[in-house]
Amino acid sequence: MSCQYHHHLLLLLLLSVGVSAVEVQRPRGVPLSKRQFYEEGKPFTCLDGSRTIPFDRVNDDYCDCRDGSDEPGTAACPNGSFHCTNAGFRPAFIPSSRINDGICDCCDTTDEYNSGAACQNTCRELGRKERESLQKMAEIAKEGFLLKQQLIQEAKRGLEDKKAKLGDVQVSKKDLEDKVEALRTVKETAEQPEKEAKERHLKAWEDQKALIRMEKDKAKMTEVTPRIIMAELLSHSELDLDSDGFTETEAQGLLGGVDKVDTTAFETVWSNIKDKYISEMAPPPVETPQEEMREPVSDNESEQYPEDPDIPEDEEEDDEEDEDDDQDDGDYKPPPTMPTQEKKDDDDEGTMPPYDQETQNLIDAAQKARDEFDEAERALREVDDQIRNLEKEISFDFGPSAEFAYLYSQCYELTTSEYIYRLCPFNRVSQKPKYGGSETNLGTWGKWAGPEDNIYSMMKYEHGTGCWQGPNRSTTVKLTCGKETVVTSTSEPSRCEYLMEFTTPAICHEPPSLDSVLHEHEEL
């Protein structure tokens, strides 16, 4: 609560106990606090000490002092000021230039003593209205302060509960850590026989595939003449090693330097050529030339649009080149991919058979151990998150007595004609269009930002969504005393800098007691 509000309450209590000021004789326009400087019958010294004049020159409608202090009740000095007593209301100062100007500035009409203006003394009525307003403010402050005491007690209990919970969670974390390590051992123990069983199964399948491939090789070899001669090899150009034409010398080299071999010797030859040898029974793959894959442009299409005479020849050539490039990029279709011999062999060999029951049991046991280990690790991560959150709440600055702790994890909204504003204390502020649209971040929690003597009266939220060619958005939240917790208003005093008014009982201060007010008045 601001000092100004405290002064208002002080004034209310002074008025409510009927403290009245005794009229002390002094020159017109002089406040009671400066009465001692104006003693009738003694020379008057200007308040700035610049000169001393006879007292009869005070308020003589001629400015003698540079600071205007000799004319507190006239308009003679341009820099002077006039004190309105305003009995029944609040005293005030007005510029000397407003004295006797025909306009009633003081509610007690004392500024228009010689103008003939028809002024009415409205101080009592103004005082009554202000007392009513201050009375309401005092009641709100009193109720808000009582609520604040409840919030403080709740915060204390909440802090104790959080500390106790933190201790319990830390104990449970130790138990979980032990459980995770135990389950890790169980998992690793179960995975070792699982791995060995899978490897045995895979090896058996690889051995089976090797037998299948061997049988296929034997069958393929029977297609070749048992007594092969060089002339038969020359008909298989795929056996050419350097792609410059399959010569008799190359064919003879494959046969071991002779023109023909028998069945026994052919097994050695076959192991060298079987990967490249194409059976005459299988049709060769058809390769489609790239030129044939492009769709020819019909004469009709080429003549459909007339030639533009305004286009320069160079541009036409460039366009034609671009069109050719586009055609190459867009119309070209790669030839269908032929399955590799290895993949084809795998397909012919079939899929790996299912695991036997013993292996499957080992896999199931290992998977169960993995699931239990993963679940325990997940629970441990959740406990770590819980500990971090509790430690953050316990150490967070929620005010001198943690009176603002109840705002944590809460959000409050204010709807205007265009936007829905959302304040989540100690987290973020956001703005969303009322009739649909994306949310804009107006800042995340930064710090308490009030003045040194009342730092908890303002919150600062920073580093929000950046403005177009401007700074990141930020929001200052001004806290005022109230019985309810609610956002009362929002504004944008400067571009991308928002101001939000927020009432809460947590900011209410204890109203001054009657005894302290009377004591303070006696001192004054």
Rg of the Cα trace of the chain? 50
Place of tokens 């123990």: 189
Structural domain boundaries, residue 42: 25-120
pLDDT in tens, 101-119: 999 999 999 999 998 899 9
Q: Which is more confidently placed, 337 or 367?
A: 367
Decide which of 273, 304, 337 is a domain's last residue: 273
Q: 245 to each of 242, 248, 272, how far by Cα in Å?
A: 8, 10, 19
Determine, yes or no, domain membership for 152: no
Burial class (CB in 10 A: 0-12, 13-18, 19+), 321: exposed
Name the band, by pLDDT with cuts 50, 70 and 90, for residue 265. low
pLDDT in tens, 303-334: 443 444 344 444 444 444 444 444 444 444 45
Angle, CA 156 vertex, CA 152 and CA 162 arms, to 5°: 135
Coil, strand or helix at 523: helix
Coil, strand or helix at 395: helix
Q: Which residues pair with 306 in a beta bridge?
A: none
Determine, yes or no, domain membership for 17: no
Could you tell me if 104 and 166 lie in one domain?
no
The least confident of 333-337, 345-349, 363-367, 518-522 is 518-522
pLDDT at 471 over 60: yes
Determine, yes or no, domain membership for 290: no
Report pLDDT for 132: 87
Name the band, by pLDDT with cuts 50, 70 and 90, for residue 294. very low
Place of tokens 């009409």: 109
Could you tell me if 267 and 182 lie in one domain?
yes
Determine, yes or no, domain membership for 173: yes
Distance CA 308, CA 312 (A): 9
Decide which of 273, 300, 333 is a domain's last residue: 273
Could you tell me if 94 and 168 lie in one domain?
no
Tokens of 482: 């109230």
pLDDT in tens, 146-187: 999 999 999 999 999 999 999 999 999 999 999 999 999 999
Tokens of 330: 């867009």
Q: What is the mean pLDDT of residues 470-491?
A: 94
- With residue 167 as reference, give the H or E element that holds it: helix 123-221
* pLDDT mean across residues, the chain: 80
Q: What is the pTM of this model?
A: 0.56
Report pLDDT for 251: 64
Decide which of 254, 273, 292 is a domain's last residue: 273
Q: Which is more confidently placed, 285 or 1?
A: 285
Instruction: Answer whether 508's CB lies under 8 Å from 141's CB.
Output: yes
User: Structural domain tally of the chain?
Assistant: 3
Determine, yes or no, domain membership for 295: no
Report pLDDT for 223: 58
Phi and psi torsions of 160, nearest 5°:
-65, -45
Determine, yes or no, domain membership for 283: no
Instruction: Answer whether 171's CB lies under 8 Å from 48's CB.
Output: no
Segments in 222-312 forming alpha helices (H)? 230-234, 248-254, 263-273, 290-293, 299-302
Report pLDDT for 16: 46
- Name the packing angle between helices 3-16 and 123-221 (round to 10°): 150
Name the band, by pLDDT with cuts 50, 70 and 90, for residue 266. low
Angle, CA 243 vertex, CA 240 and CA 247 arms, to 5°: 50
- Name the packing angle between helices 263-273 and 123-221 (round to 10°): 160
Could you tell me if 115 and 165 lie in one domain?
no
Q: What is the mean pLDDT of residues 28-36?
A: 92
pLDDT at 456 over 60: yes
- Name the packing angle between helices 357-395 and 123-221 (round to 10°): 160
pLDDT in tens, 413-455: 999 999 999 999 999 999 999 988 899 999 999 999 999 999 9
Report pLDDT for 510: 83
Distance CA 11, CA 69 (A): 28
Name the band, by pLDDT with cuts 50, 70 and 90, for residue 82. very high
Name the band, by pLDDT with cuts 50, 70 and 90, for residue 293. very low
Could you tell me if 181 and 85 lie in one domain?
no
Determine, yes or no, domain membership for 79: yes
Q: Which is more confidently placed, 23 or 517?
A: 23
The least confident of 295-309, 398-412, 483-497, 509-523 is 295-309
Q: What pairing do the DSSP bridges indicate for beta strands 474-481 and 440-448?
A: unpaired
- CA-nearest of 383, 382, 372 to 174 is 383
pLDDT in tens, 209-264: 888 888 887 776 665 544 455 566 666 666 666 666 667 676 666 666 666 665 55
CATH number of the domain bearing residue 423: 2.70.130.10
Determine, yes or no, domain membership for 438: yes
pLDDT at 339 over 90: no
Report pLDDT for 78: 92
Could you tell me if 168 and 99 lie in one domain?
no
Distance CA 396, CA 155 (A): 12
Tokens of 335: 């030839």
Could you tell me if 266 and 168 lie in one domain?
yes
Could you tell me if 163 and 265 lie in one domain?
yes
